Structure 1
Amino acid sequence: MKTVKIWTLANAVTVLRLPLAILFPFVQAPLWELLILAVAAASDGIDGWLARKMGEADGVGALLDPICDKAFVLSLALSYFYSSQLSLTALLILLLRDIWMLLLSLALLPGRRWRDLEVKARLPGKFLTVAQLVFFAICALRWPTDALLPGLLLLSLLACADYTWTLIRQVRSKVERT
């Protein structure tokens, strides 16, 4: 039986986003906000690279990465919302993909339809993540963001559609095998 190493360097880099998410609401200076954002964005790219380079890509990292990503995005979105930099509409657009994925997960719970399904990061989701990070950098600079919302909404809807279609194909394939 193979033992699972939880504390790998890659997983430590991933988990770094959690204290950054906790710290962010207490930072009120644009430069510090940008620094935290840059460190978190870098850690999101470095962790996967490290895991592959060191042969430590595993289920633990695959589970931790999206959790830490979501916690960080939620922290930034709520911080900017509560500081009145984001409207409720902007907040909902920023969280649309994650809310949709949660609803899809809940829909798959009955009957254990979620077993053996694999939801990996996909290109539309990665584009959305980059767009969100750029959006948050613009928020940190205190620049207006309303003009960016239609593009962010479009990317969110594309990511939602892509993940939905991927899950539908996996469920159909699973049903056909049984």
Structure 2
Amino acid sequence: MTLPNLITVGRLFLVPLVILMIVSQRWQAAFAIFVIAGVSDAIDGILARHFGMASELGGYLDPIADKALIVSIYVTLAMVGAVPAWLVILVVSRDLMIVSAVILSWVMGKPLAMTPFAISKINTAAQVIFAALVLGSHAFGVDPGAAGEVVELAVAILTVGSMAAYLAFWLRRMAA
């Protein structure tokens, strides 16, 4: 268990806490916890990559922690009416499609090593920015206005683009 892995596990423990803060409409606490989770993600990545602390376990734990945080926050924000349900359905569907494709490839005897595509990294960044924007706007009583709509649209477009890229990759690999 390396230091980056411990930080990642700590981030997993923040997920229920941030959900509780959102549901309780303790927006400033939710925003702060989300920022702490984001900073911890950056720190564990720096430690793993630049200080030789990368591990196989961390390679699995980190994306699980990232997706647990993003999916949980999006679902919870939709439940309290802070983000549109259609966007959450899109975000969650993409992740379910990817996980299902990986599992199906294993079942078919053609296991895939899924590495993030550039569009996927940009999509994740947009999802994080949008979540931070929504949490921050509630925490500090600021209307994001058109910027919120633009980022929301960017998340939708990038999510569909990422979904299409992974699906095309998976179909090519399964056909080979």
Shorter-chain TM-score above 0.5: yes
Cα deviation, 1:115-171, whole Å, max 9, x if unaligned, reads xx2112232111111111111112111346455333211101221223334444555
Letter in 2 for 1:164: L
CA-based RMSD: 2.1
Letter in 2 for 1:93: L
User: 1:124 aligns to what?
Assistant: 119
Could you tell me which runs of 5 or more consecutive residues in structure 2 were left unpaired when the two chains were aligned: none
User: 1:160 aligns to what?
Assistant: 163
Alignment of 1:1-178 (within 5 A): 7-27=1-21, 28-114=25-111, 117-140=112-135, 141-142=137-138, 143=143, 145-171=148-174, 175=176
Contact 1:93 1:152 in 2 (8 A): no
C-alpha distance in 2 between matches for 1:43 and 1:166: 31
Could you tell me which runs of 5 or more consecutive residues in structure 1 were left unpaired when the two chains were aligned: 1-6
Contact 1:11 1:61 in 2 (8 A): yes
C-alpha distance in 2 between matches for 1:12 and 1:45: 13
Change (3 A) 1:21 1:12: same
For structure 1, which segment, 98-107 or 126-135, has the greater mean C-alpha deviation from structure 2 after superposition? 98-107
Contact 1:113 1:171 in 2 (8 A): yes
Contact 2:105 2:174 in 1 (8 A): no
C-alpha distance in 1 between matches for 2:36 and 2:86: 27
C-alpha distance in 2 between matches for 1:88 and 1:31: 23
Q: How many residues align?
A: 165
SS in 2 for 1:112: coil
For structure 1, which segment, 27-36 or 133-142, has the greater mean C-alpha deviation from structure 2 after superposition? 27-36
For structure 1, which segment, 99-108 or 17-26, has the greater mean C-alpha deviation from structure 2 after superposition? 99-108
Change (3 A) 1:93 1:110: same
Q: Which has the higher helix share?
A: 2
SS in 2 for 1:121: coil
Contact 1:37 1:133 in 2 (8 A): no
Cα deviation, 1:59-85, whole Å, max 9, x if unaligned, reads 100010111111111221122111121
SS in 2 for 1:109: helix
